[in-house]
Chains A and B, each alone.
Chain A
């Protein structure tokens, strides 16, 4: 298995809703990442988990809450989002160093209404 799987592929949520994005990989990678990509923009790093511990938080608002239950799973819990949070959310994984590169999932397209 050489993939990063993200679910759901599309999500529409209201500003008062609570939802979660899920990311899964079975490549034995020890680092997992969340990126946010607005339309016609590059991906921006949000969070990094290394060996299931949060190692980087790029000053992301607290309405985004990451969780890494085990080495294969990464969640992003969403609460009280704003319309400007609408974007493609990409998950990636790596072996913890750049040598083998980073594998990206196909993303969750989130629309906040």
Chain B
């Protein structure tokens, strides 16, 4: 069975500073990894996903994540954060090739301080 660990429940960062949100997974088979963002009182929006190929994946809003198989990690990074990045960030894993659904980590609340 798969599982996801997000090591930090809350990360405070000053505006324009870099940030890294950590995610580790556990699975006995190949996995598909995702980062979702949830703004207050909203649903989940896909930030980026790793399925195969290049281990560095990028999103259109400046976030990137690197898949590291040996460390079973998929950390999310942004070189310079903005106030609007304040949100809850969920790392998620899907194990199967079919419609198995996602298993989420507990989430990391990113707090941007002016």
Contacts and interface: CB of A to CB of B under 8 A. Distances in A.
Chain B binding surface, main DSSP class? loop
B98 A96 contact: yes
B44 interface: yes
A103 B13 CA distance: 29
A79 B49 CA distance: 37
A45 B92 CA distance: 12
Contacts of A97: 97-99
A106 interface: yes
B5 to A, nearest CB: 12
- Chain A interface bracket (under 10, 10 to 19, 20 to 34, 35 or more): 20 to 34
Interface string A93-113: 010111101111111010000
Contacts of A101: 34, 46, 49
A81 interface: no
B27 interface: no
Interface of B: 32, 34, 36, 41-46, 49, 51, 90, 94, 96-107
Interface of A: 6, 30-31, 33, 35, 40-45, 48, 50, 55-56, 90, 92, 94, 96-99, 101-107, 109
